[in-house]
Amino acid sequence: MMAGVFRILFHTPEIPGNTGNAIRLAAVTGSELHLVEPLGFDFEDSKLRRAGLDYHDLAHVTVHPDLEAAFGALLPARVFAFTAEGGTLYSDVAYEPGDVLMFGPESVGLPAEVKADQRVDSLVKLPMMASRRSMNLANTASVAVFEAWKQHGFAGSGPRA
């Protein structure tokens, strides 16, 4: 892992466009993207390729056969599971390089057993209007990654205008 890198973990993502956007997010922020199978698409999917544009070769993407394999590769690290039921606001976390920002599948979010896993350090949420179910996966990951990166001065970014 490169110094200063945050790790995005999508647990069984279903929509190729969201993962394509996350590939682009990983490339432009220097983050790693980790995907847990089963995936709801394959890497030849045109929507995945279109959303990722030409960033696929610039992103560090790893596919894991299951969550155990992902944790085996990523831990020890702090794991923040993003869920609408989280008790901690995303902006109240003091992120550290190497942290894992975990998100669930688009249709149902993280399973209860994943949220209850003892390797998860905190359940984190983004604020939303009352009675709204969820935000888009790629948008949520973007907000979280940019908050973590901001806290570290956007380390590695180019000159600011």
Q: Residue 120 maps to which CATH number?
A: 3.40.1280.10
Average pLDDT, stretch 112-125?
97
Q: Is the pLDDT of residue 1 over 50?
A: no
The number of folded domains in the chain is: 1
Average pLDDT, stretch 119-130?
95
Closest by CA position to 33, among listed 4, 60, 2: 60
Q: Does residue 87 come out as left (phi exceeding 0), alpha (psi in the -120 to 50 range) or beta?
A: alpha
Q: C-alpha distances in angstroms, 5 versus 27, 30, 149, 156?
A: 11, 6, 9, 10
Asked whether residue 160 is domain-assigned, the answer is no
Asked whether residue 156 is domain-assigned, the answer is no
Asked whether residue 161 is domain-assigned, the answer is no
Asked whether residue 141 is domain-assigned, the answer is yes
Asked whether residue 157 is domain-assigned, the answer is no
pLDDT of residue 133: 80
Asked whether residue 81 is domain-assigned, the answer is yes
Please check if 126 is assigned to a binding site. Answer: yes
Asked whether residue 16 is domain-assigned, the answer is yes
Q: Is the pLDDT of residue 22 over 60?
A: yes
Asked whether residue 2 is domain-assigned, the answer is no
pLDDT of residue 132: 83
Q: C-alpha distances in angstroms, 96 versus 5, 88, 117?
A: 9, 16, 21
Q: Is the pLDDT of residue 51 over 60?
A: no
Please check if 110 is assigned to a binding site. Answer: no
Please check if 104 is assigned to a binding site. Answer: yes
| Interval 56-111: pLDDT, tens | 677 899 999 999 999 999 999 999 999 999 999 999 999 999 999 999 999 999 99
Range of the domain at 26: 7-150
Q: Is the pLDDT of residue 125 over 70?
A: yes
Rounded-to-integer distance, Cα 123 and Cα 85, Å: 7
pTM for this predicted structure:
0.91
Q: In residues, how long is the chain? A: 161
